[in-house]
Amino acid sequence: MANSKKHLLIEQTDRKLQVFKAVETAVVPPLGWINTIRKSLNMSMRQMGNRLNVSAQSIKEMEARESNGSITIKSLSEAANSLDMRLVYGFIPKQDSIEKMIEERAMAIAKDIVMRTHHTMKLEDQENTDERLQKAIRNRANEIITKMPKYLWD
């Protein structure tokens, strides 16, 4: 029961993350989104500051923090709101999906486990064929994926 819930959660999360795939290639403007959108709207720093109840200098600092990557999500959200926009953020898996991440990690762990056993058997002159090794790795990986043990990310 717990495993089916974990797998359902993985599937649901993967579906939620798919919407971000479309923006994966979006290029962040060199001076940041706040600066770019504010200038596109022909809004001065003073005008934006008035909307946020802060000084023009604070807007300049906010834009600098966005540009250097030290801005908070809260500040980005407030800036977006002052520009009559919404902040949307998310994560995009480096692999195709969370499921693929888990599979790759499980395969790496399974290979390590099987190869340690293989090395011991080789020393005892009981070496397995490559085909049997690959099957053992796949079986162990499937077991890891099914159980989703805590050591998966160690």
d(C-alpha 150, C-alpha 34), whole Å = 40
- Domain residue ranges of the chain, discontinuous segments joined by +: 1-21+93-154, 25-91
pLDDT value at 1 more than 50: no
DSSP-assigned states of every residue in 27-89: PPPTT-HHHHHHHHTT--HHHHHHHHTS-HHHHHHHHHHHHHT---HHHHHHHHHHTT-----
Burial of 90: CB neighbours in 10 Å, binned 0-12, 13-18, 19+: exposed
Rounded to two decimals, what is the model's pTM?
A: 0.74
Which CATH number applies to 25-91? Answer: 1.10.260.40
Q: pLDDT tens digits for 92-120?
A: 898 889 999 999 999 999 999 888 876 66
d(CA 122, CA 106): 24
Say yes or no to pLDDT of 141 above 50. Answer: yes
pLDDT tens profile 15-35: 999 888 888 888 999 999 999
